[in-house]
Structure 1
């Protein structure tokens, strides 16, 4: 008992001294509150208690940060296990669809590289409440990690990374105005390598999904630096993000429409007096917009985007040229060992033909409209009208000429049939035998005279026959015949 009393008194007397010494030796440390927010995002009361504890004991901030980081990793691991379990429990058809989810060009989508998108990496900048259209249609937080690691999208509720693209794999960044909107908006299109919808992908290659997100016109209200400081500036959000991307992605630059490349003949309908840089087109049953840029041609904005860089375009041609619309065919060949691949875009307004044709000629894209292999694909619709409209462009003139040739061929066939019929009638006339009518070509009066002569000759013959009959009767009857005659008289 005495020993216990001595120990308790010693511990009680020395404990305050130890705590005070520790408090003096451990200065307050810097705490990354983003890690704590991610770890306790679903439990706000616990997060508040952690903040209170750090405020009361700043020297334990690093310890709470390590605990939060460990907790976040455990939550991520559990989430991945649950996702894998749910996939394995799905039916076979749906399981194949999830595991074999393919992005543009038939490549494995970004789900296969999500584990490489480090969630706890320091950030260079991030923008909240960004509206994404591809690959998902929802509002997310756009993040750029430090040292140009990843451009990614984070769920604003669960704080999980939804998708992303390694910066080194970004091939094209396009900044394009959104057509047919009352308020001015800009779409940023991020296209990875082998993800342009044209370039063939190696088997089993992992290619991230394309990304399309919209930035509204006006100052950036939810843009932050990597340190979490809000950007207080009147600079347009689109200009700010363009500058950030150009500075971070060094091997490619953001491409915007240029008046020197192409401007639509039809101005923007929803914003009076503003130039339009797109043309409406259809690819099969899918409608979209064609943009003619300094590095290639884009068809968007529905998933998947198709981007034709100049390096991949083999030729451009026009088909189905009508009075109001025409079709644009783009043939691509990425590798000389592969067969060309052709994409047809239909129902393009004739008013934009001159601008598109000038764009093709300025970039020296081969026009294959007159190729021999393509002639059978042209349609002769309203050949006569096409001949008149052909004065406007060479392509329509070619279609009209072809229509004229077909009409000439049809006329020659008709003439040939008519000649054959006339020849047949001539042969029948030559074989005809007039008989008793004679070879004379006399008139109607001569024919009547001939008929009268024939009647006279017949009359004389009848008289002669009657006289002959009377002589025979006399010879046979003799005097009796005379008696008979006298009696009759």
Structure 2
């Protein structure tokens, strides 16, 4: 005999079988026969499942029935909710059936159903939840399953009136809730209705919240807290809550962390600030400890404050550095090389870019005479046609009605010197213009010079400086 069949058995079961076969090797064959029998007879497994669900519901055994109820959990179907008497045990059962064939059956309702309640549907006023927490057949009683149904108020009211269970003149759904609750008591369990207007005492409430990335509704009931209804659905007794912590508080939202007596933590985020008072009053009535100002949370807050202080210090240091280095408008944009700037300014007086270090006095004198004549002619030409030239060139270079990239047509002089253009700046333009031609340098330099050109020409005549 071989142990190969054990490879197809769950690990925990395989270990138990091996413990037995190691102590008594002769039992290995028995386990293998049992495995092969179960594997080759699927009808036995199908029959056992049918026994768990229960036999077909007999019409005469039905105590109460709601047809075409929308089931959301544990599966999504439209089924009939049926209270009936089991033909085998003679005890009441709750089943979800289709065509009288049960899809889910609960027995021993007084013990298996731990909690049941009606809950409002936040987005739809014409729909109500029926929430049932239970322990399945043969399961550990501490393990809870959830049965979640939705009832359409108008359809349910009409169905009960047509079946003669309610008087035809009743139009309030509260009569349906009352009737269903009485039927549940007859079969052994109770359904609460905490949001009923007839209830005295503090009102239950619900808030919209997130758990991780899942959006849902957080219900604060008299004795329970429920978050749903995307799986996994959370439910725990309010008596199990040991402490609450508020965190990530902003102008609009805040987070809540509920810690149970077993040490489990459930954080719910993005809760509207307007709901704070309701939650705070609820936990105070339950005498829940507020751990928001505990030493652990203070340490977290202090750490955040330290980081904020460090960031503020870095910002202040950067601001002081800028202040020490001078106005940001004084920073040269063209080059960071100081030697290159000095050499360029010295050379800018040359008319044709020739070497200023030449020792020929005659050549220099001849060039200066020619430059004086050229400058005078240029000034006269610009005074006659300067306005037309400036307007045409300026419109050609500035798109969108003159709104250039420097901010709505602001002149270069305004950006750097508050509108006061010095001689070196004007000399720089003329040098570029003569050396490369009026259209060879980039549009930004051209636009900037055109804005200040006419104002400076008037000052040239009295400046006593020779321009190139």
Q: TM-score, normalised by structure 2?
A: 0.47
Greater length-normalized contact order (CA 8 Å, ≥ 6 residues apart): 1
Which is higher, the Rg of structure 1 or of structure 2?
Answer: 1
For normalisation by structure 1, the TM-score amounts to 0.45
